[in-house]
Amino acid sequence: MNISFDYYHDGKRKALTMSYDDGQVFDRRLVEIFNKYGIKGTFNLNSGKFDTEPYVSKEEIKELYRGHEVAVHSLNHPYLTLIPPEELVYQIMEDRKNLESLVGYHVRGMAYPYGDYNDIVLNSLTSFGIEYSRTVKSTKSFRIPNNFLEWHPTCHHDQNLLDKCKEFKNISEWEQMPLFYVWGHSFEFERNNNWREIEEFCKMVAYDESVWYATNIEIMDYVVAMRNLKFSVDRKIVFNPSSIPVWIGVDGEAMKINPGERVYL
């Protein structure tokens, strides 16, 4: 019996996730484009800037980002490596608290402001309830991170995005769980007058039955659940202790392991 770990949610072989920072009013148009094509995004917000130009208002957060994920980006967007420990706690926890009060769910993810972090910042995040954090270091690859607290994206949307999309669509079948992770700022589309490009990308990548369109937290939760599957020594019994279903490959076919389920292979 051949067991493999090649599948995302619902037996999909590939995944796409998007990550956009700051929460400026241009998110409204970006969310509209994502919704049009069924793309999922994570929006990293500075809640200390809400209700000031050019940022979104508190009142619209819940509805604007419905169906997507809201995540921490610090309260006021400082360089996290330049502030005292007490201010680091304040910047992360206040932002998380504010966002949770607006969206009504646990906020567990983050993106580093300016991509700025060090080991002290990284190692502090779990004590703040943060389970992943995105950097700005493009890998140009479709690999899942080893450490979700240092999650490097595939590319910024200005880095030959359409060419990268073609590569993703034609990726070799032997690649294990390829993940296409795009990041940026919505204001860049307005500044560079290239809204057409992000819409063309969404149109090109959408409605692919082999792709799971997911938020950052959905990707992380799935991978963690997959990594935590429990197998017997002879690999004939598998137990899923997580709260979400996981798919594995058994002799080339996707098999669903429900939450709390023990399966005899």
Q: Is 10 exposed, middle or buried (0-12, 13-18, 19+ CB in 10 A)?
A: exposed
Q: Where are the domains of the chain?
A: 13-225, 229-264
Tell me the per-residue pLDDT of 15-51, one tens digit each, with 9 for 90 and over.
999 999 999 999 999 999 999 999 999 999 999 999 9
* Residues paired with 132 in a beta bridge: 109
Which residue in the block uniquely carries the two structure tokens 């493009």? 138
CATH code, residues 13-225: 3.20.20.370
How much of the chain, in percent, has pLDDT values that exceed 70? 100
pTM, two decimal places: 0.97
Residues in contact with 159: Cβ distance below 8 Å, sequence separation at least 6, in sequence order: 138, 140
Across the chain, mean pLDDT equals: 97
